[in-house]
Amino acid sequence: MSHLTEYVRQWGPLSKTSAFLFENYNGVLSRMVHGTKHHAVELTENLKFARGIHMLDVKVKNHANGDHVCDSVVSVRGEANRTTLTDDDFQILRSAGIAEFKTFRRAVFTGIVYTSRAYDVNKKKCNSVVEFHDANGRTCRGEIICFVKTVEHVVSYVEKFNVVHSKLLFHRGTMQKITHLLPVARSNKRVLVELPSIICKVLKVGEFIASLPNQYEKNL
């Protein structure tokens, strides 16, 4: 119970938070272990397999929609106040050829609801941290600031995170690097990310990102 004080400082009163999802996920993890030996290895491999299935599902859905996504499969919700954008943000948008636009708090793409930093953080379904492919195909992580809608299409405006390699975690017994828990720091670098380039939503707790799909996002 000693951790509750620090959690209240970070995330507010206990009425606004719940450990049920984390505790419930322990049951999910326990069902991934079937052998009597090498539990850590089996669990790691099964988590990688589950992640691979999710990423394959995303790629199949994107391919089914074609290389270019039309506005009919993207909808936006909750127009955001543009005063939250800085002069540097407007410069980035102008350099990308975006002059006339509106900003929004949420977007729905292929049935998945994505939220942004502009959305109410007290909402239960607010999770604006995502994993995505950049223009060079590299896997990156960041937080969606808002969604930018022009006449032609909708894109997400994302602040990228840098991985803090000096704080990477290692398994105490095997010294194997734990790659699904990544220490990150804000980079202040902001980029436009097409919605099909988003791999999945991830969980961010403190300075760490759980780089696995958020299985408890019900897309409501």
Task: Give CA angle at 210 (208, 215), nearest 5°.
Answer: 150
DSSP SS3 for 48 = helix
User: What is residue 191's predicted lDDT score, i.e. its pLDDT?
Assistant: 93
User: What is residue 21's predicted lDDT score, i.e. its pLDDT?
Assistant: 65
User: What is residue 13's predicted lDDT score, i.e. its pLDDT?
Assistant: 62
Look at 135 and 84; give whichever has higher pLDDT.
Answer: 135
Q: What is the pLDDT of residues 75-132, one digit of tens each?
A: 888 888 877 788 999 999 999 999 899 999 999 888 888 999 888 766 666 678 999 9
Q: What is the pLDDT of residues 178-187, one digit of tens each?
A: 877 889 999 9
- Measured between its terminal Cα atoms, the distance across the chain in Å is 32
Rounded to two decimals, the pTM is 0.65
Least confident segment among 11-25, 127-141, 196-210 = 11-25
User: What is residue 217's predicted lDDT score, i.e. its pLDDT?
Assistant: 55
Distance CA 141, CA 128 (A): 11
User: Could you tell me the residue ranges of all domains in the chain?
Assistant: 69-210
**Topology annotation, domain 69-210:** SH3 type barrels. (2.30.30)
Mean pLDDT of the chain: 80
Instruction: Give the helix ranges, DSSP H, for the chain.
Output: 4-11, 20-30, 39-64, 87-95
Task: Tell me: pLDDT of 159 over 90.
Answer: yes
Q: How many residues does the chain have?
A: 220
Task: Tell me: pLDDT of 16 over 60.
Answer: no
User: What is residue 192's predicted lDDT score, i.e. its pLDDT?
Assistant: 94
> Mean per-residue pLDDT for 149-174?
89
Distance CA 26, CA 150 (A): 43
User: What is residue 43's predicted lDDT score, i.e. its pLDDT?
Assistant: 82
Tokens linked to 10: 């970070």
Task: Tell me: pLDDT of 190 over 90.
Answer: yes
User: What is residue 220's predicted lDDT score, i.e. its pLDDT?
Assistant: 38
